[in-house]
Amino acid sequence: MEFKHISVLKKESIDGLNIKQGGIYVDGTTGGAGHSEEILKKLNHLGKLICIDRDGEALEVAKQKLSRFKNVVFVRDNFFNIKNILKEQNIRGIDGMLCDLGLSSYQIDNVERGFSYSENANLDMRMDDRQSLKASDIVNTYSEADLFRVIKTYGEEDFAKNIARNIVKAREIEKIETSEQLRNIIDKSIPAKFRFKHGSPYKKTFQALRIETNGELENLKLALLDAFNSLNKNGRLAVITFHSLEDRTVKQLFNELTKDCICPEGMPVCVCNHKAEGHLINKKPIIPSESELEQNTRSKSAKLRIIEKN
């Protein structure tokens, strides 16, 4: 299957990074290298780009696409490990970093990867096929309480209790290994009148399992803080999110980093002496234009937030 992906908010994110020709930049989620290519076009021979992705297939595609550039390094890892990655590259500070937290169209459309609920496939959902935990392991081994927690917390699913209970019942009869089996369980768990009220009834549960499988939210705030702390003065961190849980995490962190006083509410006088470490480039998130939405419907939930280090 050909690796196809349309980079979301490409111009807005590249412009937002305010790229210096001789700067050092990081694409924390390289994917199909659409953003990476635009960054490299703006760098001169003194500039450098670190391309990070935990998906081996994506990184191989990126290497081919960017083969004409000499000032790029490829690292197969999770950007959550940004501190160690930069240390291994002998880089003390960077001038900008981009993190596109969405799935690539290739990952969604490739049935073998098991991310999509529209096709019948094995419940895999691993972004890095070197890891052992699959989505099928979660549905077949997690307790009912843990399944409820995952589906409710990461999927914000109103019928999480029913779905968790019915997963446990179904797996007592046979192992749950395919998306079709899981879809059937979800159908039984959501009353017909609510099933298609807000789009697909499967989206929230599949999203929750994907997030749990890949630990997407577990240490996101700490990872983005590490990325911010790795910035040089006036360096920028740009983050593209695709659902409310991610965006909330980014928004809260950026608000904390751009506040002077962080004393508890009700304190009559500031005693923390905390000074803002950065400032927001865009106070409201940047969203796709109408023309982008027409070209790529999968961009509709994207939000871009950018912070600059003081």
Q: Using alpha carbons only, what angle is made at residue 35 by residues 32 and 41, rounded to the nearest 5 degrees?
A: 115
The distance of Cα 74 from the centroid of its chain, to the nearest Å, equals 19
The percent of residues above 90 in pLDDT, for the chain, comes to: 72
| Residues in CB range of 144: below 8 A, 6 or more apart | 164, 165, 167, 168
Rounded to the nearest 5°, which phi and psi values hold at 255? -65, -40
Torsion of CA 308, 42, 127, 123, to 10 degrees: 110
Q: What is the mean pLDDT of the chain?
A: 91
Q: pLDDT tens across 35-71, in order?
A: 999 999 999 999 999 999 998 988 999 999 999 999 9
| Residues in CB range of 168: below 8 A, 6 or more apart | 144, 147
The per-residue pLDDT for 175 is: 97
The per-residue pLDDT for 108 is: 59
Model confidence at 1, pLDDT cuts 50, 70, 90, reads very low
User: Is residue 5 pLDDT above 70, yes or no?
Assistant: no
- Exposure letters 100-137 (e unless 16+ CB within 10 A, then b): bbbbbbbbbbbeebbbbbeeebebbbbbeeeeeebbbe
Mean pLDDT of all residues in 1-27: 86
The per-residue pLDDT for 110 is: 60
The distance of Cα 178 from the centroid of its chain, to the nearest Å, equals 24
Give the containing element (helix H, strand E) for 250: helix 244-257
User: Is residue 271 pLDDT above 60, yes or no?
Assistant: yes
Tokens matching residue 305: 């937030």
The SS3 call for residue 130 is: coil
Q: pLDDT tens across 57-107, in order?
A: 889 999 999 999 999 999 999 999 999 999 999 999 999 999 999 765 555
CA nearest to 27, candidates 42, 15, 12, 37 = 37
Q: pLDDT tens across 210-242, in order?
A: 999 988 888 899 999 999 999 999 999 999 999
155 touches 204 (CB < 8 A): yes
Between residues 120 and 204, the one the model is more confident about:
204
- Domains of the chain and CATH, by start: 10-101+218-309 (3.40.50.150), 112-214 (1.10.150.170)
Model confidence at 182, pLDDT cuts 50, 70, 90, reads very high
Q: pLDDT tens across 235-268, in order?
A: 999 999 998 999 999 999 999 999 988 788 888 8
In 10 A of CB 287, how many CB atoms?
15
